Amino acid sequence: MNKPTALPVNPQGTPLKGVRGQMLSFKDDPFLRAEQECYDYYTDGLIVMQDGHILDVGDYDQTIKNYPQLKDIDVYKDAIIMPGFIDCHVHYVQSPMIGSFGDTLLNWLNQYTFPTESKFKDKAFADEVAHEFFKQLLEQGTTTANVFATTFETSVDAFFEESERYDTRMISGKVLQDRNLPDSLKDSSAEESILLAEKLLKKWHHRGRQLYAIIPRFAPTSTPEQLRLAGELYQRYIDQGVYMHTHLDEVQSEIDWVTQLFPDQPNYTEVYRHFGLVDKRSIMAHCCIVREEEWQTLHQCDCGVAHCPSSNLFLGDGEFKYWEAKEQSRPVRVGMGTDVGGGTNFSIPRQLNEAYKVAMLHMRNLDAVKSFYLATRGGAEALHLENTIGSLAPGYEADLAVVDLKPSEFAAWRMKFTGDIFEKLFVIMTLGLNTINMATYVAGRKVYDRNRDRKYMYAADIDAAQQPHAPQESTTDPKTSQK
Ligand code: GUN
Ligand code: ZN
């Protein structure tokens, strides 16, 4: 990294920051248009960032001429700079039970998930888990996630407080669940649960980069009354950008249970729609076993869907069929989700690895263009944030991942036998390494750098370190000091 001797300033007085290297960014959906029209690729590009946003992107030689005052440029070789990855469905509260052995969804929930989530009433425990979760996300180059907390206020506050420290754009909220789960996790009543959700929504939605989601866990764990009140709350706030996030059509045993519980509805999607929960900012996780009329509803209502292949394989759920979701006559917005702790790792590129294999089981493939679109802009589209994050273009928020194209000695050797960048990226995602991300930028700050002494740094610590002669105080919790 080039260290400036003095802070360079632009005419408005705020410092510029540059990132230089090979770059890839998507601007359209390669499932629906010719692939070569869907991305911008620079062999030697420059991103100019200011105040958390991208000011300019282009070929280095051309772009640098317009910024003679720009001296602070991080240069990456043997790497490719992309928008930060987007995880459209993950449970931060399940981080302590990732990799739990041996059961299908409904038993697994009872055996591992509910007991673990019950512990989040304790704020100190919630803080510890949130802290570790963000480290995992940032290490893997994920800069935005759509996240389940759990029943308790403490679980929501711990999550958003940690997100604020990094200045990440995150979506989360209290989980609504008032039946068919242990008392230790159950909402005391439908009315109380909605009052608490609204209180948290008012506290966190649009506070800095934080966004709120109304989260009925899934239809079986909410009474009809809770779903009705959740739908009312969603409809009251939808025009302020509030989300609805839930699970849908994951596994046959779950679908059968929903049929028993809601016999008047013709399918699972209609259960949610009946209560006003299917709308333009509704995000549905899984969607492995979906009827044609449900895809049509998801399309008409402009919902987003999270494809979570590592979780679907681990829990033996079923397979997401992207060719159904992306049917040209009624395409649906799709992004990737890790679904930790059903998912077995925090890496979005490793989800792409599993997505390819799931598609191959059905004699379909998934190339690197479509895959990395899903990991970035596809996720932003699923979350209706495609004008804010997920692409490298002027005006977008400056969230970046820097993918190492030689993440191991063997990978470096294997690269000798590859051709263009998409061939390289396909090999990288297929090797499935946990070490492919070199650095992560959030709102223009390098919050993760695997080669730095302090790998993870909060926004305030980075700002303090950049002030000339400022004392280097840390806002990091010393108990869990980050290295
Ligand atoms: N359906 C309801 N709750 C859950 C959960 O925690 N994980 C998964 N994978 N599916 C669910
Ligand atoms: Zn889930």
Ligand 1 pocket by C-beta < 6 Å: which residues? 91, 105, 109, 113, 217-218, 247, 250, 311, 339, 342
Distance CA 26, CA 194 (A): 38
Give the pLDDT confidence of 210-227 residue by residue, as tens digits.
999 999 999 999 999 999
Average model confidence (pLDDT) for the chain?
95
Which atom belonging to ligand 1 lies closest to the Cα atom of 148?
6
How far from 235 is each of 238, 242, 282, CA to CA, in Å?
Answer: 5, 9, 11
Rounded to the nearest whole angstrom, what is the distance from the C-alpha of residue 434 to the centroid of ligand 2? Answer: 21
Shortest CA distance to 400 belongs to which of 169, 210, 209, 172?
169
Residue nearest to atom 11 of ligand 1 (CA): 247
Residue 315 has pLDDT above 70, yes or no: yes
Distance CA 216, CA 206 (A): 21
- Residue 425, token pair as written in the block: 């990226």
pLDDT at 361: 97
How far from 251 is each of 121, 338, 383, CA to CA, in Å?
Answer: 29, 17, 23
pLDDT classification of 466: cutoffs 50, 70, 90? confident
How far from 67 is each of 16, 61, 360, CA to CA, in Å?
Answer: 9, 11, 47
Name residues whose C-beta falls within 8 Å of residue 95's C-beta, 6 or more positions apart in sequence.
Answer: 129, 132, 133, 136, 340, 341
Distance CA 478, CA 289 (A): 47
Residue 468 has pLDDT above 80, yes or no: no
pLDDT at 4: 35
Distance CA 144, CA 167 (A): 10
Percentage with pLDDT > 70 across the chain:
94
Single pTM value for the model = 0.95
Distance CA 178, CA 185 (A): 8
pLDDT classification of 471: cutoffs 50, 70, 90? low
Residue nearest to atom 5 of ligand 1 (CA): 109
Phi, psi of 344, rounded to the nearest 5 degrees: -105, 5
Residue 476 has pLDDT above 80, yes or no: no
Residue nearest to atom 3 of ligand 1 (CA): 217
Residue 8 has pLDDT above 50, yes or no: no
Q: Among 221, 247, 340, which is best to mutate for testing ligand 1, by the most ligand atoms less than 8 A from CB?
A: 247
Give the pLDDT confidence of 225-265 residue by residue, as tens digits.
999 999 999 999 999 999 999 999 999 999 999 999 999 99
Rounded to the nearest whole angstrom, what is the distance from the C-alpha of residue 393 to the centroid of ligand 2? Answer: 31
Number of the ligand closest to the Cα of 313: 1
pLDDT at 14: 83
Residue 1 has pLDDT above 70, yes or no: no
Number of the ligand closest to the Cα of 218: 1
Span 394-411, mean pLDDT?
A: 98
- Residue 391, token pair as written in the block: 């692409």
Which atom belonging to ligand 1 lies closest to the Cα atom of 317?
9
Shortest CA distance to 88 belongs to which of 307, 340, 351, 385?
307
Contact 281, 241 (CB under 8 A): yes
pLDDT at 478: 38
Q: What is the dihedral angle through the alpha carbons of 88, 93, 99, 101, rounded to the nearest 10 degrees?
A: -120
Residue 83 has pLDDT above 60, yes or no: yes
Phi, psi of 330, rounded to the nearest 5 degrees: -155, 60
Which atom belonging to ligand 1 lies closest to the Cα atom of 91?
6
